[in-house]
Amino acid sequence: MLAGMLRALLSAVVVLSLSGSAWAVPLGYTDKASFDGAVSSLSPPQTLDFEDVASGTLIPSGTGLDGVSFVYSIPGYSLRVSSTFGTTSPSNYLGLDNPDTAFYLGDQITIEFGQVVRAVGLYAIAGSDTQAGDFELSAGGGSVTNAALADRDVSDGSAWFLGLVDTSPGGGFTSATLRGVDAGDGAFLAFSVDDVTTAVPEPGVAALGVSALAVLVAASLWRGRTCTLV
């Protein structure tokens, strides 16, 4: 009887955990300050700013940089680190090996993290003709599009921030996809990407979850013992 109660309790815990993960949808952010506040309970964020990669370096699909891989299929072009135009970190940014060193509406790339992360954020840098909804970042069943107003200016353009955060129990995601939204109206927009930021839970958070489960199991054992004696 006691073993049956224990199995039932463990099953309930697993179901609740999976349900929480399934129901949770990452929250979207369009300004870096709010994103930073949302990830303050996680481990210190890690940012890939492409400064450690020489300008002009090509990045074939599936290639990793600092634990992050880029998967894409953009006919005729490859990802390339460039430094031609203004960006959010000192000089380098991610674009394509075309004359504009940039992505266009309709292009998309998937960023693979190699682990479960709870947050991802990045900047899309473009000109003043950018419209709300031109860029979309999606991950873990959630998505966010850029606001009408840029988060910050750069030397020859502006930068729109896109971020997703999932701090729910059992939540997180292992990849995210950025795309230039092609509305089918023939609009042209060149944009680059910089400062890909990720965050994972503090190590103590996972340990706390295990401890809580241990307490539940112990309580169940004690109740079962008491019931047996009565």
Please answer whether residues 74 and 96 qualify as being in contact, where contact means their C-beta atoms are separated by less than 8 angstroms. Answer: yes
pLDDT digits (tens, 9 = 90+) for 18-28: 444 446 799 99
Q: From CA 177, how far away is CA 137, in angstroms rounded? A: 6
Tens of pLDDT, residue by residue over 73-120, are 999 999 999 999 999 999 999 999 999 999 999 999 999 999 999 999
Sign of CA dihedral 80, 98, 82, 87: negative
Q: What is the mean pLDDT of the chain?
A: 85
Cβ neighbors of 204 (< 8 A, separation 6 or more) are none
Check: CB of residue 160 under 8 Å from CB of residue 185: no
Longest dimension (CA), the chain: 82
Using CB atoms within 10 Å of the CB of residue 195, give its burial: 0 to 12 exposed, 13 to 18 middle, 19+ buried.
Answer: buried
Dihedral angle sign, alpha carbons of residues 173, 70, 64, 56: negative
Residue 208 has pLDDT above 70, yes or no: no
Q: Cα–Cα distance between 154 and 172 in angstroms, integer?
A: 31
Asked if CATH classification 2.50.20 holds for the domain at 26-203, the reply, yes or no, is no
147 has a pLDDT exceeding 70: yes
Pairing of β 173-180 and β 108-117: antiparallel
**Residue 23: what pLDDT?**
60
Residue pLDDT, tens place only, 162-188: 999 999 988 999 999 999 999 999 899
pLDDT band at 9 (very low <50, low <70, confident <90, very high): very low
How does 171-191 read in b/e, with b if 16+ C-beta sit within 10 Å? bbbebbebbbbeeeeeeebbb
What pLDDT score was predicted for residue 24? 77
Three-state DSSP at 24 gives: coil
